[in-house]
Amino acid sequence: MEWVEVSVETKTEAADLVTAAFTDIGAGGVEIDDPALINAYIDEGRWDYRDMERKPETGMVVVRSYLANDGELDGKVRTLKASLEYMKERGADLGTAKVSTNIRNDEDWVDNWKKYFHTDKVGKNLVIQPSWEEYEVQPDDIVLRLDPGAAFGTGTHPTTSMCLRALEELVKPDMTVFDVGTGSGVLAIAAAKLGASKVVAADYDATAVKSAKFNSAENGTESIIEIKQSDLLKEFSGKAKLITANLIADLVIRLFDELDDHLEKGGRLLASGIILSREEDVVAAAKLHGLFIVQRHEEKEWLALEIIREEDR
Question: What pLDDT digit, counting tens, does each position of 64-117 carry?
Answer: 888 888 888 898 999 999 999 989 988 889 999 999 998 876 655 556 556 656
Per DSSP, the three-state class of 228 is: strand
Q: How confident is the model at residue 151 (pLDDT cuts 50, 70, 90)?
A: very low
Nearest to 151 by CA among 196, 216, 97: 216
Per DSSP, the three-state class of 82 is: helix
List, for residues 163-219, the tens digit of each pLDDT value.
999 999 999 999 999 999 998 899 999 999 999 999 999 998 887 888 899 999 999
Relative orientation angle of helices 15-24 and 73-89, to the nearest 10 degrees: 140
Provide the percentage of residues in the chain whose pLDDT is more than 90: 51
Q: Who's near 243: CB < 8 A, 6+ residues apart?
A: 177, 178, 179, 180, 233, 259, 262, 263, 267, 268, 269, 270
Average pLDDT (6-31) is 85
pLDDT of res. 306: 98
Beta bridge partners of 9: 62, 98
pLDDT at 161 > cutoff 80:
yes
* The dihedral sign for the CA sequence 164, 184, 94, 91: negative
List, for residues 211-262, the tens digit of each pLDDT value.
899 999 999 999 999 999 999 999 999 999 999 999 888 889 999 999 999 9
pLDDT of res. 172: 95
Nearest to 181 by CA among 234, 140, 111: 234
Instruction: Give one word for 208, left, alpha or beta, with left for phi > 0 and alpha for psi -120 to 50.
Output: alpha
Per DSSP, the three-state class of 313 is: coil
* CA distances in angstroms from 252 to 83, 147, 283, listed in the order given: 20, 26, 11
* CA distances in angstroms from 129 to 53, 117, 137, 145, 273, listed in the order given: 23, 9, 10, 5, 22
Average pLDDT, the chain: 86
Q: How confident is the model at residue 285 (pLDDT cuts 50, 70, 90)?
A: very high
Main-chain phi, psi angles of 5, to 5 degrees: -80, 115
Cα distance between residue 168 and residue 195, in whole Å: 10
Q: How confident is the model at residue 141 (pLDDT cuts 50, 70, 90)?
A: very high
Cα distance between residue 117 and residue 119, in whole Å: 7
Cα distance between residue 313 and residue 309, in whole Å: 7
Q: How confident is the model at residue 20 (pLDDT cuts 50, 70, 90)?
A: confident
Q: What is the pTM of this model?
A: 0.73
- For residues 7 and 302, which has the higher predicted lDDT (pLDDT)? 7
* CA distances in angstroms from 175 to 11, 165, 185, 218, listed in the order given: 41, 17, 18, 22
Distance of CA 2 to the CA centre of its chain: 23
The least confident of 11-20, 171-180, 195-204, 277-286 is 11-20
Nearest to 205 by CA among 155, 153, 161: 153
Q: Are 121 and 154 in contact (CB under 8 A)?
A: no
pLDDT of res. 45: 60
User: Which contiguous run of DSSP H or E holds residue 283?
Assistant: helix 279-288
The length of the chain, given as a count of residues: 313
Q: Who's near 241: CB < 8 A, 6+ residues apart?
A: 172, 175, 176, 177, 264, 266, 267, 268
